[in-house]
A and B are shown apart, each in its own frame.
Chain A
Amino acid sequence: MKELNVYTLILFTVGFFFMISCEGIVPEAPDEEDLLDGPIAGLSYEEQDQFLKGDIAFNDDIFTPKTGLGPTFVAASCGSCHPGDGKGHPSTTLIRFGQTEPNITLNLKGAPQLQNRAIPGYQPEQLPEGIPSMKMTPPAVTGLGLLAALTDEQILGNADPNDEDGDGISGVPNYVTPPDYFIPEDHHQPENGKYIGRFGKKASAVNLLHQTATAYNQDIGITSTFEPKDVYSNLTIDPEVSDQVVRDVVFYLKTLKAPLQRKQNDPDILRGKEVFNILRCSSCHIPTWSTLESDIDALSNKTFYPYTDLLLHDMGPGLDDGATEGSAETYEWRTSPLWGLGLSPDSQGGKYFLMHDGRAQSIEEAILMHGGEAQNSRDQFQSLSSVEKEALIKFLESL
């Protein structure tokens, strides 16, 4: 009888575990709309495979001194600066310098990016005295493929350099000299050998290969056939990352899904969206775009909601750091996409670090830092009732 009881107890225990379905044992997945990572829908098996390879290279591959890290660097992996593919933290903020006016590059050692960390035994780079610099908090990297799939014509369609429509908004593209490995596509519309930049806080990277290869080089100190010069010695050295890995990462960035808006039918959020439009925030943070044909089917003919125009705007003296890139003025910044804004704290350690350098610690602070072409919108925001302000913030948090 005693043995029977024991068997019963054992069977009960084992049965208890197996009665819980396997799916029940594993913690539930967060809602899709609460996550930034994950592939865009519609990838083929081959594309999913390449996405996974890129995911590993981006998030899991950690460089060490043995595998090429540094000697001077900012971070040891892509994922260190873009946790969960989201915005970065002040501890990984980049410092860029070397250009104080449009189209004129100073011949400064170490420019355009400060590598403020070094492997043991080496000294990190020092910012030259008296040279203006700008800090840049790493951006979220989701939905970039959709932005990359837009044509120059679409971007230029919103440019109004001379403010001919008199609305006080005069978006301009940042024309930059592309790297040697840049291969123009049919839709590109160069001007004097320069191409429209669309990635980065100053829109200084013409495409995702440019962005990725320079990030490996300037952020991690990793050379490739694309960027063969070591940032420490300024000499060419053997590639430390393969072309394939770089291309896998580019593919990963291209095919990361776009952030999804949450609670879009909430009345407060709908009211906030109205306020957003009334304040004409949407003049620069253009909500809706559609792609044409893309080399990746899943990116073709897609409508998406990044809330950006990919153009540079005068943001006023408060955001003029005295440094710049490409043809941008020091006070001009690319309209930051607002998609995923409400998920920023999930990648920034529970807090907001907004604007180009993370100086704003709330959405309201960020709005109040807008000047220049956004001055009118900011002033109108300040005159909103607290209910309207709250609705606007709720809407922005839902993005």
Chain B
Amino acid sequence: MKKNLLLFLIFAQTTVTVNAQVDSSLFKDTRNDTLSAEAMNMDAVYERPFFHAGTSPVSVGGYIEAGYQYIGEDGITEGHTFRIPRFTLFVGSSLHPRIKFLSETEFEEGGKEIAIEFAALDINFSHMLNLRGGIIMNPIGAFNQNHDGPKWEFVDRPIAMTKMLPATWSNVGFGLYGKQFVNDWGFGYEIYLTNGFDNSIIANGENRTFLPAAKENAERFEESSNGQPLITGKLAVKNHNIGEIGLSYMGEIYNAFEDDGLILDEKRRLDVFAIDFNTSLEKTSTYLTGEWAWVMVDVPETYGQQFGERQQGGFLDIVQPVLRSTIAGFNNAVLNLACRLEYVDWNVGTFRETGANISDDLWAIVPGVSFRPSAQTVLRLNYRYMHQQDILGNPPAKIAGIQIGISSYF
């Protein structure tokens, strides 16, 4: 029961009606807690609180993140900074018990960037066979799909999953998914064909192989950059007593090797493998979640060693509830201690000229405290400390500071 409660807290799966809304009688929570036990990471887009008015088939929801930080690098700081990293709206509808639609629109940094991260129609044929089409979130790792701010105890998203893998990475395409639970065991799969990456992953302002650069190409929602589909697939297994583990793959020919029937370059591949897991330790109720990914990119040999052919990175979150109680009138409020460990190496390899290691890497440790007055809302206080080395392995930039944030579904 405790474990379920913890899972419930971490993933912010709503089990309560919202009392604080204005004229709340107009709204009804469509979720119930029986879903959470059989929820897997692949269900993240639907495992959110939605509300609908009366008998309308349309449900709405969303979440907001806001924060403050005071961070500096080697004695230099930008000072006190207040941010609203994202404000996200969900709109869903169920036209038929087995046909669902959901969209997720994100406004980043107060509207500086607006993106439709998800807008897909799901048709259910059976537990093991669902068709999904539209703008989908490629299921590489777990964070890409399961990224809602209120689900996490840390102000920043994991660096490896946002600056190496491109969370939140979504594309137009189609695919199949399904899952089946037998007793304590559940199995899920997803496979999609979508548009994908482009030359920008090795031609960008970061001066490194950088998959997130492809997010800036909004044309991928209109057409593929090279006519080659991006294949993304994931297998996941969950045991109610142990946890969930997922293995995923994403790959394609990424470059524009042909245009108007003319060959412009060799076909160059991108392949990404990821493993993700989450579990809780029975005795201590400690919740662990982590993800690690490997990226392999065919970079032209003559393009420069700045652009890595291999990358790797990931994170481990350790969350320890230390108090569950009624606090300031909030029933079942939880206070957690948490720590994130993360690492990214954007360029795995050695220099041709010297044989020395190519660095371009980063590690961080982020201890923190989070307070959840309700499952859907989290207040966080983090201290971030990280080292980042340039490609040559020169003395690292030391970056540290405090981050305070709130995030809540609404």
Residues of A that sit less than 8 Å from B by CB = 2-3, 6-7, 9-10, 13-14, 17, 22, 25-30, 62, 64-66, 69, 75-77, 80, 83-84, 89-91, 93, 116-121, 123-124, 346-351
- Asked if B335 contacts A27 (CB within 8 A), the reply is no
Q: How far is the CA of A77 from the CA of B206 in the complex (A)?
A: 11
- Asked if A3 contacts B300 (CB within 8 A), the reply is no
CB distance from A56 to the nearest CB of B (A): 12
- Asked if B399 contacts A65 (CB within 8 A), the reply is no
CB < 8 Å neighbour of A22 from B70, B369, B395: B70
Interface residues of B in 291-329 (CB under 8 A from A): 300, 302-306, 323, 325-328
The residue of chain B having its C-beta at the shortest distance from the C-beta of A5 within the complex is B323
- Asked if A26 contacts B390 (CB within 8 A), the reply is no
- Asked if A83 contacts B394 (CB within 8 A), the reply is yes
Q: How far is the CA of A25 from the CA of B203 in the complex (A)?
A: 36
- Asked if B401 contacts A6 (CB within 8 A), the reply is no
| B73-81, B84-92, B143-151 - interface stretch | B73-81
Q: A6-B335, A348-B394 are in contact. List 5 more A-B contacts (CB 8 A).
A: A26-B401, A27-B73, A83-B394, A89-B353, A123-B302
- Asked if B264 contacts A9 (CB within 8 A), the reply is no
- Give the B interface residue count (CB, 8 A): 53
The residue of chain B having its C-beta at the shortest distance from the C-beta of A358 within the complex is B353
- Asked if A29 contacts B74 (CB within 8 A), the reply is yes
CB distance from B74 to the nearest CB of A (A): 5
- Asked if B399 contacts A27 (CB within 8 A), the reply is yes
Q: How far is the CA of A76 from the CA of B209 in the complex (A)?
A: 13
Residues of chain B with a CB closer than 8 A to A64's CB: 200, 203-205
Residues of chain B with a CB closer than 8 A to A117's CB: 302-304
- Asked if B207 contacts A17 (CB within 8 A), the reply is no
Please list 17 pairs of residues, one from A and one from B, whose beta carbons are closer than 8 Å in the complex, sorted by A's number.
A6-B325, A7-B328, A9-B335, A26-B70, A26-B72, A27-B74, A62-B205, A62-B206, A76-B207, A80-B207, A83-B390, A91-B351, A91-B352, A91-B392, A347-B394, A349-B393, A351-B356
Residues of chain A with a CB closer than 8 A to B343's CB: none
Check B400 for interface membership: any CB of A closer than 8 A: yes
- Asked if A120 contacts B199 (CB within 8 A), the reply is yes
Residues of chain A with a CB closer than 8 A to B395's CB: 30, 346
The residue of chain A having its C-beta at the shortest distance from the C-beta of B397 within the complex is A27
CB < 8 Å neighbour of B255 from A10, A120, A124, A348: A120
Check B52 for interface membership: any CB of A closer than 8 A: no
* Residue of A25, A26, A117, A350 with most chain B CB atoms under a 10 A cut-off: A26
Check B268 for interface membership: any CB of A closer than 8 A: yes
Check B193 for interface membership: any CB of A closer than 8 A: no
- If A3-B328, A10-B335, A90-B351 touch, whether A17 touches B302 (CB-CB below 8 Å) is no
Inter-chain CB contacts under 8 Å: number: 130
Check B163 for interface membership: any CB of A closer than 8 A: no
CB distance from A35 to the nearest CB of B (A): 9
Residues of chain B with a CB closer than 8 A to A118's CB: 300, 302-303
The residue of chain A having its C-beta at the shortest distance from the C-beta of B204 within the complex is A64
CB distance from B164 to the nearest CB of A (A): 18
Q: How far is the CA of A62 from the CA of B206 in the complex (A)?
A: 7
Residues of chain A with a CB closer than 8 A to B398's CB: 27
- Asked if B392 contacts A27 (CB within 8 A), the reply is no
Residues of chain B with a CB closer than 8 A to A121's CB: 264-265
- Asked if B392 contacts A83 (CB within 8 A), the reply is yes
CB distance from A77 to the nearest CB of B (A): 6
Residues of chain A with a CB closer than 8 A to B76's CB: 26, 29
Residues of chain A with a CB closer than 8 A to B327's CB: 3, 6-7
CB distance from B261 to the nearest CB of A (A): 16
Residues of B that sit less than 8 Å from A by CB = 70-77, 80, 199-200, 202-207, 255, 264-265, 268, 300, 302-306, 323, 325-328, 335, 351-354, 356, 359, 369, 371, 381, 383, 390, 392-395, 398-402
Residues of chain B with a CB closer than 8 A to A14's CB: 381
Q: How far is the CA of A134 from the CA of B315 in the complex (A)?
A: 46
Residues of chain A with a CB closer than 8 A to B392's CB: 83, 89, 91, 347-349
- If A25-B70, A350-B393 touch, whether A91 touches B325 (CB-CB below 8 Å) is no
The residue of chain A having its C-beta at the shortest distance from the C-beta of B395 within the complex is A346
- Asked if A90 contacts B353 (CB within 8 A), the reply is yes
Q: How far is the CA of A121 from the CA of B256 in the complex (A)?
A: 10
Q: How far is the CA of A347 from the CA of B393 in the complex (A)?
A: 9
CB distance from B332 to the nearest CB of A (A): 13
Residues of chain A with a CB closer than 8 A to B390's CB: 83
- Asked if B75 contacts A29 (CB within 8 A), the reply is yes
**When A and B form their complex, which 6 residue pairs have the shortest distance between CB atoms, in order from nearest?**
A29-B75, A26-B72, A349-B392, A27-B398, A121-B265, A90-B353
CB distance from B354 to the nearest CB of A (A): 6
Q: How far is the CA of A238 from the CA of B77 in the complex (A)?
A: 39
The residue of chain A having its C-beta at the shortest distance from the C-beta of B400 within the complex is A27
Q: How far is the CA of A66 from the CA of B327 in the complex (A)?
A: 56
CB < 8 Å neighbour of B371 from A10, A62, A83, A124: A10
CB distance from A226 to the nearest CB of B (A): 24
Q: How far is the CA of A332 from the CA of B375 in the complex (A)?
A: 74
- Asked if A84 contacts B255 (CB within 8 A), the reply is no
Residues of chain B with a CB closer than 8 A to A93's CB: 353
Residues of chain A with a CB closer than 8 A to B75's CB: 26-30
Q: How far is the CA of A89 from the CA of B304 in the complex (A)?
A: 13
CB < 8 Å neighbour of B204 from A2, A62, A119: A62
Q: How far is the CA of A174 from the CA of B203 in the complex (A)?
A: 39
Q: How far is the CA of A25 from the CA of B326 in the complex (A)?
A: 33
The residue of chain B having its C-beta at the shortest distance from the C-beta of A65 within the complex is B203
- Asked if A26 contacts B323 (CB within 8 A), the reply is no
Residues of chain A with a CB closer than 8 A to B300's CB: 118, 120
Q: How far is the CA of A79 from the CA of B347 in the complex (A)?
A: 18
CB < 8 Å neighbour of B402 from A10, A25, A66, A346: A25
Q: How far is the CA of A65 from the CA of B304 in the complex (A)?
A: 13
Residues of chain A with a CB closer than 8 A to B371's CB: 10
Residues of chain A with a CB closer than 8 A to B71's CB: 26
CB distance from A189 to the nearest CB of B (A): 40
The residue of chain A having its C-beta at the shortest distance from the C-beta of B353 within the complex is A90
- Asked if A119 contacts B203 (CB within 8 A), the reply is yes
CB distance from A365 to the nearest CB of B (A): 15
Q: How far is the CA of A26 from the CA of B72 in the complex (A)?
A: 5
CB distance from A268 to the nearest CB of B (A): 24
- Asked if A27 contacts B72 (CB within 8 A), the reply is yes
Residues of chain B with a CB closer than 8 A to A116's CB: 302
CB distance from A12 to the nearest CB of B (A): 10
- Asked if B303 contacts A120 (CB within 8 A), the reply is yes
Residues of chain B with a CB closer than 8 A to A17's CB: 381, 383, 402
CB distance from A347 to the nearest CB of B (A): 6
Residues of chain A with a CB closer than 8 A to B401's CB: 25-26
Residues of chain A with a CB closer than 8 A to B393's CB: 349-350
Q: How far is the CA of A22 from the CA of B165 in the complex (A)?
A: 32
The residue of chain A having its C-beta at the shortest distance from the C-beta of B329 within the complex is A3
- Asked if B394 contacts A120 (CB within 8 A), the reply is no
- If A6-B323, A25-B401, A30-B75 touch, whether A349 touches B302 (CB-CB below 8 Å) is no
The residue of chain B having its C-beta at the shortest distance from the C-beta of A69 within the complex is B203
Q: How far is the CA of A102 from the CA of B328 in the complex (A)?
A: 85
Q: How far is the CA of A121 from the CA of B262 in the complex (A)?
A: 12
Q: How far is the CA of A350 from the CA of B359 in the complex (A)?
A: 12
Q: How far is the CA of A14 from the CA of B382 in the complex (A)?
A: 10
Q: How far is the CA of A103 from the CA of B74 in the complex (A)?
A: 48
